[in-house]
């Protein structure tokens, strides 16, 4: 595990053996580092809640990543605020990577998508939370006024610029 995670929260097999519940909120410095990593304009809240339990060869962590984020609109760069509540169900296991060669192509089943390797007897649940948040972000956030702003700047909408726009114009003209 990377000791350079922007929001590190180390969990051990012993923690899971006790059936521990976790609730941790990132401080302002950690939120700023995560925001920079994920290309966010702001990260006003980042909360990790999880329940740990032992499973064969490791432990399970189920819970939720909660965040208040501000992203840049994909069309106008205006701020777009969003509240995220992303559930997760992760398994941190020994020898996850040992069963597959480095150059082998692997097809994962639905139940195998959230398998992560343990680092000895530990895992960075904070880093897993940041990765979960990253996957939950809108890849193309759009400000509610984006269409109006773009129209005012003379940018054509998809309908006006699309392949059928020219045909629609021709249909309205008389045959000559």
Residues lower than pLDDT 50 in the chain: 1-2, 99-101, 106-112
CB-CB contact of 9 with 129 (8 Å): yes
Write down the pLDDT at residue 103: 55
Cα–Cα dist 65/96, whole Å: 24
Q: Which of 122, 133, 121, 120 is nearest to 30 (CA)?
A: 133
CB-CB contact of 124 with 8 (8 Å): yes
Q: What pTM value is reported for the model?
A: 0.77
Write down the pLDDT at residue 144: 86
Q: Where are the domains of the chain?
A: 10-141, 145-176
176 token code pair = 């000559």
Task: Give the residue ranges of DSSP H helices in 39-118.
Answer: none
Write down the pLDDT at residue 173: 61
Write down the pLDDT at residue 80: 94
Cα–Cα dist 88/107, whole Å: 21
Write down the pLDDT at residue 60: 95
CB-CB contact of 67 with 58 (8 Å): no
């Amino acid at each position: 595990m990377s000791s350079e995670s922007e929001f590190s929260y180390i969990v051990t097999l012993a923690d899971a053996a006790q059936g521990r519940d976790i609730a941790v909120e990132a401080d302002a410095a950690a939120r700023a580092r995560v925001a920079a990593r994920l290309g966010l304009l702001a990260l006003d809240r980042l909360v990790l809640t999880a329940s740990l339990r032992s499973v064969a060869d490791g432990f399970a962590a189920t819970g939720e990543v909660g965040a208040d984020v501000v992203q840049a609109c994909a069309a106008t760069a205006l701020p777009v605020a969003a509240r995220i509540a992303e559930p997760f169900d992760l398994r941190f296991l020994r020898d996850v990577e040992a069963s597959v060669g480095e150059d082998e192509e692997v097809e994962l089943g639905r139940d195998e998508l959230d398998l992560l390797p343990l680092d000895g007897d530990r895992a960075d649940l904070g880093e897993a939370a940041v990765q979960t948040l990253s996957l939950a972000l809108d890849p193309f956030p759009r400000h509610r006024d984006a269409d109006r702003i773009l129209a005012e700047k003379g940018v054509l909408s998809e309908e006006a610029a699309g392949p059928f726009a020219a045909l629609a114009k021709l249909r309205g003209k008389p045959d000559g």
